[in-house]
Structure 1
Amino acid sequence: MPRPRRTVRSGLRRSALGRPALRRACVVALVGVSALSLGAGTALATDATAGDQRIAHYLGTRFHPLTGQASGEVLDAASGRVVWSSGAGAQLMPASTTKIATAIAALTVLGPNHTERTRVVLKGRNLYLVGGADQHLTGDDVNALADAAATALKKQRHTSVTLYVDDSLFPHVQPTSPGWQPGYVPGEVSSISALQVFGHENVDSALYAGNVFRSRLATHGIGVQSGVLKRAKAPSTATQLVSHVSESLASEVERMLKDSVNDNAEGFARLTALAVHQPADWQGATRAVLATVARYHVPLTGVQLYDGSGLSRSDKMTARALASMAALTVDPRYQSVLKPVLVGFPVAGVDGTLGPAWGRFTTAPTKCAAGKIDAKTGTLTGAIALAGVTRNQQDGRWKAFAFLEEGGFNTTSARNLIDQWATTVEGCW
């Protein structure tokens, strides 16, 4: 059932959130594993499995950055035990792995069944297309709204209207997030708006949607004012003619993660902000996301976010925080809320941004892990990241991992290397 847009629903048991989501066991030297050389700075817990020992051994020999700096951490997801770690507290650019935090926060405060509503309302002869921050509103959806609105207008004997767009749910003019490069809008992301057409990046998303709507109305013989379309907030006394309800937040989050959609991530971050009574700008959004993630006891020391998508080159994340967030996705306590994050993770060598089209997990030595790793990718110029989960072949237990690398490297080579590290965690190589 649709829920009120601003209703705060965590879907989490208070007692569950009162306990650390990841209990970090004291790490002590493992007795009797002299045959395995451990990575620098890594000591295994006394209850480490054979799989843990193998991961620590091989990452100890394979974990070396191409250039610059790299960090990583592997956790036994169920216990929170650190399996292997190297520079896990280093502050590196997370790129689109930031979307993991955004997804967790949105699902937590809004709930997986949350929906957004786009409305068409009428006051006198003034018609308003009102955005509700539907993150997957398509051109077909806008056309369908116009078709239904035209029918409703004709029933009321309206043959001409003055059309306005109302995107007031989010601030119309938003300052660019620190660290966003020139050309990001509309090259990598649309202008952030509560009214936009999915798949169409524009400098003014709301006006684009309004023009699609206006053109469709005209095909039904409804006269609409010519010239530049204008913004106006719909009066509270306006009558709703028609509306369109989005898919569930769960399904929207899955699609956002699978294909790493920047527009969607920024929208979800702002909806999260509104749900916890923060302003729907980048400052309010990042405060809301981090505060919500902190409820799961994710270690956020060193984490700095300036957007919800990871486009900002000023964003800083640690492998420790990312691995901790990844582990939440397979924690039985939170499956009712966070399962869409796991489902949305691209599958190695299968789909999304880890699919064959990107050359991921298609050749030796990583091909053996195809279909066996679920992880979110992150790519910016000079920054590569991968964070997710996999069942280790040796012990059958979920391992959560995060790897980040930053420097002046060839992107394809860096991706291949980071995929090899993830394959090492899976255990087939």
Structure 2
Amino acid sequence: MAVIAAPVVAAITVTATSASAASGLTAADKAMAGKLNQRVGAAELGTNVVGEVRDVASGQTVWSKNGTKGLMPASTNKLATAVAALTVLGPGHTVQTKAVYRSGAVYLVGGGDQQLSSADLKSLATATAKTLKAKGHRSVRLMFDDHLFAAPSLATGWNSGYYPDTVAPVRALRIAGDETQDTALAATKYFAQQLTANGITVGKPARAKTPSGSTALASHKSKPLSTTVQYMLKYSDNDIAEGLLRLTALGQKRAATFAGGTAAVRAVLVKYGIPLTGVKLYDGSGLSRSDRMTADALSAIAGLAVDTRYQAKLWPILKGLPVAGVDGTLSTSYDRFTTAPASCAVGEVDAKTGSLTGVSALAGVTKGADGRWKSFAFVENGVSPTATVKHALDGLAATVEGCW
């Protein structure tokens, strides 16, 4: 059995504020809590609903319903993935896709770039061909190395039907948007086409680990992690989430697997003081039907997006969260915040959506009627995520914002 080095977690100073130590609820908070008590039961969300609202600055719980009960969070789980990735790696973190040479072979080496485009690979091939010609090489074997991540597997709680429409097998080499079974091979075939177009003859690509002593030919640097996290949250990109989970694991010197990644996430959340009793994580995207998240934990995680103590690293989260009725998975094209009463909160709520069969969730932040930041989480299990359910969740968020 491989021995994994002790995790490296960035030092985080947390000043906990208990509800009993807080100065008490504002009049606006009391009014909001009363409305939530009435509206959750009448919101056509079914009987298996949990929720919580916190005042971010004080840490006080404003309202809670079964806040410590774990339910399937669906894609709201990506909030935890984002927090962990940014904390461990930092918003400016980048990775490289490289082409190296050894003994008549070019190796295309994946670095886990989650937004690698075909244009990026084309540029890399052009630069690689130029260097090869300068060295007198016009015919090479072509290998590809995606061994940075462990071989793809289904996470606990996933089913094979997720491939290829919902998520691709997780690999360290992939053109963004590609959902084929072997994205590394597909990327390498495209790279080969571009080398050929630049006058380099290549053989049939084969998977192989890069040998020691290889010579660098060319490289492509990824976009910064901040950009990737924002895109992942805004459009709920499952592939990016799972890639970031593995990069986070590597950043803590853990195995680049589901288990290594989720252990890394938990280690980071503990450092922030997030309550993890009842929380079970098996992936980074929230696709697992075995994942469990409490409203207590989810509202606390969402609050980190606007907690002034952590903005040096976590600022991309708020910028990446979908805005009510404006963009991402909360845009009107998804039928969110389109009708009264929730439409009063258009542009005022920043939140991550979550949707699976029988699962609907919404977690994020907004400023309440008292002008203070509130974090919230509402999760429902058992009812199909229909338009009625989505509108009900939007209405609860509008209640937190105070316009309804």
TM-score under structure 2 length normalisation: 0.95
CA contact (8 A) 1:382 1:411 kept: no
What amino acid maps onto 2:99 in structure 1? V
Question: Does 1:294 find its partner at 2:270?
Answer: yes
> Using the alignment, how far apart are the partners of 2:321 and 2:54 within structure 1?
18
> Using the alignment, how far apart are the partners of 2:68 and 2:301 within structure 1?
14
CA contact (8 A) 1:348 1:369 kept: yes
- Residue 336 (structure 2) aligns with: 360
CA contact (8 A) 2:323 2:349 kept: yes
> Using the alignment, how far apart are the partners of 1:221 and 1:201 within structure 2?
29
Look up the SS of the partner of 1:197 in the other structure.
Answer: coil
- Residue 407 (structure 1) aligns with: 382
Deviation at 1:230, TM superposition (A): 1.1
- Residue 123 (structure 1) aligns with: 102
> Using the alignment, how far apart are the partners of 2:8 and 2:178 within structure 1?
30
Query: Aligned in 2, Cα 1:285/1:351: closer, same or farther, shift over 3 Å?
Result: same
- Residue 24 (structure 1) aligns with: 18
Deviation at 1:53, TM superposition (A): 1.2
Fraction of identical pairs, as percent: 51
Question: Does 1:331 find its partner at 2:310?
Answer: no
> Using the alignment, how far apart are the partners of 1:260 and 1:377 within structure 2?
8
> Using the alignment, how far apart are the partners of 2:270 and 2:82 within structure 1?
14
> Using the alignment, how far apart are the partners of 1:332 and 1:133 within structure 2?
30
> Using the alignment, how far apart are the partners of 2:338 and 2:112 within structure 1?
37
CA contact (8 A) 1:382 1:409 kept: yes
Where do 1:147-162 residues align within 5 Å?
147-162=126-141
What amino acid maps onto 2:242 in structure 1? E
Deviation at 1:371, TM superposition (A): 0.4
Deviation at 1:190, TM superposition (A): 1.1
Question: Does 1:56 find its partner at 2:33?
Answer: yes
Question: Does 1:93 find its partner at 2:72?
Answer: yes
CA contact (8 A) 1:9 1:110 kept: no
What amino acid maps onto 2:37 in structure 1? G
User: How far does the alpha carbon of each residue in 1:123-146 deviate from its partner, in whole angstroms, 9 at most, with x for none?
Assistant: 121000000001100111111111
For residue 202 of structure 2, the aligned residue among 218, 224, 229 is 224
What amino acid maps onto 1:219 in structure 2? A
Deviation at 1:410, TM superposition (A): 4.7
What amino acid maps onto 1:218 in structure 2? T
Deviation at 1:46, TM superposition (A): 6.1
Where do 1:9-408 residues align within 5 Å?
10=10, 14=12, 16-17=13-14, 19-20=15-16, 23-26=17-20, 47-64=24-41, 65-171=44-150, 173-226=151-204, 229-392=205-368, 394-408=369-383
What amino acid maps onto 1:257 in structure 2? L
Deviation at 1:26, TM superposition (A): 2.1
CA contact (8 A) 1:139 1:197 kept: yes
Provide the alpha-carbon RMSD of the alignment: 1.5
Query: Aligned in 2, Cα 1:364/1:9: closer, same or farther, shift over 3 Å?
Result: same
User: How far does the alpha carbon of each residue in 1:302-329 deviate from its partner, in whole angstroms, 9 at most, with x for none?
Assistant: 0001100000011000000000011111
Deviation at 1:154, TM superposition (A): 1.1
- What is the aligned length? 396
> Using the alignment, how far apart are the partners of 1:55 and 1:416 within structure 2?
18
User: How far does the alpha carbon of each residue in 1:174-226 deviate from its partner, in whole angstroms, 9 at most, with x for none?
Assistant: 33101112221222111101111101111111101101101111112211113
Look up the SS of the partner of 2:163 in the other structure.
Answer: helix
TM-score under structure 1 length normalisation: 0.90
Deviation at 1:234, TM superposition (A): 1.1
CA contact (8 A) 2:87 2:268 kept: yes
Query: Aligned in 2, Cα 1:129/1:356: closer, same or farther, shift over 3 Å?
Result: same
> Using the alignment, how far apart are the partners of 2:270 and 2:180 within structure 1?
34
> Using the alignment, how far apart are the partners of 2:288 and 2:385 within structure 1?
20
Look up the SS of the partner of 2:101 in the other structure.
Answer: strand
Deviation at 1:162, TM superposition (A): 0.3
> Using the alignment, how far apart are the partners of 2:114 and 2:383 within structure 1?
34
CA contact (8 A) 2:350 2:365 kept: yes
> Using the alignment, how far apart are the partners of 2:162 and 2:20 within structure 1?
44
Look up the SS of the partner of 1:206 in the other structure.
Answer: helix
Deviation at 1:115, TM superposition (A): 0.3
> Using the alignment, how far apart are the partners of 2:23 and 2:252 within structure 1?
42
- Residue 3 (structure 2) aligns with: none
- Residue 4 (structure 2) aligns with: none
> Using the alignment, how far apart are the partners of 2:289 and 2:381 within structure 1?
11
